[in-house]
Structure 1
Amino acid sequence: MEKRRFEKLGISPSILGYGCMRFPMNEDKSIDEEKSQALLDHAMASGVTYIDTAYPYHDQQSEKFVGKALAKYDRDSFYLATKLPVWLIKETSDVRVYFEEQLRRLQMDRVDFYLFHALSKDRWEDIKRLDMIREVEKLRDEGKISYIGFSFHDEYPVFEEILTYRDWDFCQIQLNYVDTVIQQGMKGYDLAEKMGVPVVIMEPVKGGALAKLPEVMEDIFHEVSPDRSVASWAFRYVASLPNVKVILSGMTEMSQLDDNLRTFSDYQSLSPLESEAVEKVTKIYRSRQMNECTACGYCMPCPFGVNIPGNFKIWNNGAIYEDYEGARKNYHNMDESKRASMCQECGQCEPQCPQFITIIDDLKKVALALA
């Protein structure tokens, strides 16, 4: 398993990190613990040492399951990351209250990587106003946290302000070969590299969208490297950046895990010819997609029952794959109560979207295009 050294921290976790937001689920939407345990066991047996979860994942069940799943392992055999739910903090003392709750859920006495979760301009202002950083630093000084960082979902100027505010141990950003000009983009990555702040990558395959592509795009990759999976190109793209230390993948199936293990057990950076292929695919992909939805689910649940990510997936796939009839069929096969046309424009979803999608307007477009 490829490892990258955090020179600043003096540690070397696996470059492949297990993202605990997309475990396999039962019909009732609970975590399928048997399958998920098998995935984590296989990952760790194969050299994965970075495990990333968060307070809200899987309807607040991810931390509990992860704690249970990791209980049989030596605590020093893995690095555990979780995140402070900044939006729930109403007064400074809440920081410790939520952190202690997370420790109980995880059945741990410490967290290795602790992040201020999904920062935006408004959340950053709340962090400063309530002096949350000082409280997290106290927890670090007590030995309950090793490294302090943040995950980010906003525009570059906000990222620059946050990154330069203090000496961060690391930061976590969304980056893939399609999303180089949204959020902080490559400009933000370059700033982190310049400042010596190690980077953890989320959404390297854009919520799975870059794991299966239209034939015209896949042919470009296969012509250059016929034996590599489509998803591996996305992972190798971000892994080719020297200041990327960990790449998170929310692996739901054993086949996904095995493919990623192959990529990073015999890791090879992109060649100039492969980089050119990525540029070609990126150009075609960007010209087709309708919006930037990664199906992260932060917008859910909709109080009126609309399946927001499901509608956008159908809409985007119809455009990207040029299968408009198939998209209409999939839309009409969806339960009517979950269709875009049922949006009541309450606005609850939009402030939660890390991609800053105009969800209400886009749902109108989906309803019109797929009616």
Structure 2
Amino acid sequence: MSIDVSKMPKLGFGLMRLPEKDGEIDMEKVCKMVDIYMESGFNYFDTAYVYHGGKSEVAAREAIVKRYPRDSFYLATKLPAWEIKKAEDCDKIFNTQLERAGVDYFDFYLLHSVEEGSNYDKYIEFNCFEWGIEKKKKGQIKHFGLSFHGSPALLEKILLEHPEVEFVQIQLNYADWDNPIVHSGKLYQMLKERNMPVIVMEPVKGGTLASTTPEIEAMMKKHQPDKSIAS
């Protein structure tokens, strides 16, 4: 089942930096944020096993899964290489994620932070690409992909050796387009040439591009006075 990109929303809801109150996730505020987002016609939520110390997936259950029909939203989460010590850990982590989120499948499932070094090596050592395909065959994953932070060379290698990858999530914003470490522009062009669906993370660079220097803001407002700095 390929991804129908025409049904994908243009804006996702990330659950990595949720508002907190007294050291805990402010669920009242998160629920309001989710409602505004859904009412605006969007429905893609992104979480991960490690976000908010493991509480982000629980927040997804409370703010989304319990409050909206399962077929009304997409839920994405990720497998962290650094938490895998033996092959059985993949299933252990996955089952924990299903329980935390209160679902029996994830719409999108990603290998988290794929990059050169120990992360990628772990995914290969424990056959995580093949493992993902088995989960997909069982219906527990609808679409299998990567959250990528590596080099263009590694991405090319992965796409060549693992045709089972259905989509790639990359850090993409105008400040990182020519960044020699992030490679936003090069990665995007590679994926575009291969007609590989792209999911964007850090479009406003963790919020930093939503509040720039007065000089840059003045330039932007002069160009499009009715637009927000983030847009």
The two structures have a TM-score, normalised by structure 2, of 0.93
Superposition map of 1:127-206 within 5 A: 127-167=123-163, 168-182=165-179, 183-206=182-205
- Counterpart CA distance in 2 for 1:224 and 1:72 is 41
1:62 aligns with 2:74: no
- AA aligned to 2:46 is D
Q: Is the 8 A contact 1:25 1:31 kept in 2?
A: yes
- AA aligned to 1:42 is I
The two structures have a TM-score, normalised by structure 1, of 0.59
- Counterpart CA distance in 2 for 1:185 and 1:69 is 32
SS in structure 2 of the partner of residue 164 of structure 1: helix
SS in structure 2 of the partner of residue 83 of structure 1: strand
Question: Which consecutive unaligned segments of at least 5 residues does structure 1 have?
Answer: 1-6, 233-371
Counterpart for residue 79 of structure 1: 74
Instruction: Please identify which structure carries the higher strand content.
Output: 2
1:17 aligns with 2:12: yes
Counterpart for residue 89 of structure 2: 94
Cα deviation for residue 180 of structure 1 reads 1.0
- What is the root-mean-square deviation in Å for CA atoms of aligned residues? 1.4
Percent of pairs with identical residues: 38
- AA aligned to 1:162 is I
Cα deviation for residue 201 of structure 1 reads 0.5
- AA aligned to 1:126 is K
Cα deviation for residue 8 of structure 1 reads 4.4
Deviations 1:346-370 (A, max 9, x none): xxxxxxxxxxxxxxxxxxxxxxxxx
Q: Is the 8 A contact 1:179 1:185 kept in 2?
A: yes
Query: RCO greater where, 1 or 2, for CA within 8 Å and sep 6 or more?
Result: 1
Counterpart for residue 217 of structure 1: 216
Cα deviation for residue 46 of structure 1 reads 1.5
Structure 1 segments (4+ residues) deviating >4 Å: none
Q: Is the 8 A contact 2:115 2:148 kept in 1?
A: yes
- Counterpart CA distance in 1 for 2:154 and 2:161 is 11
SS in structure 2 of the partner of residue 140 of structure 1: helix
- Counterpart CA distance in 2 for 1:22 and 1:140 is 28
1:126 aligns with 2:122: yes
Counterpart for residue 46 of structure 1: 40
Q: Is the 8 A contact 1:124 1:162 kept in 2?
A: no
- Counterpart CA distance in 1 for 2:155 and 2:63 is 34
Larger Rg: 1 or 2? 1
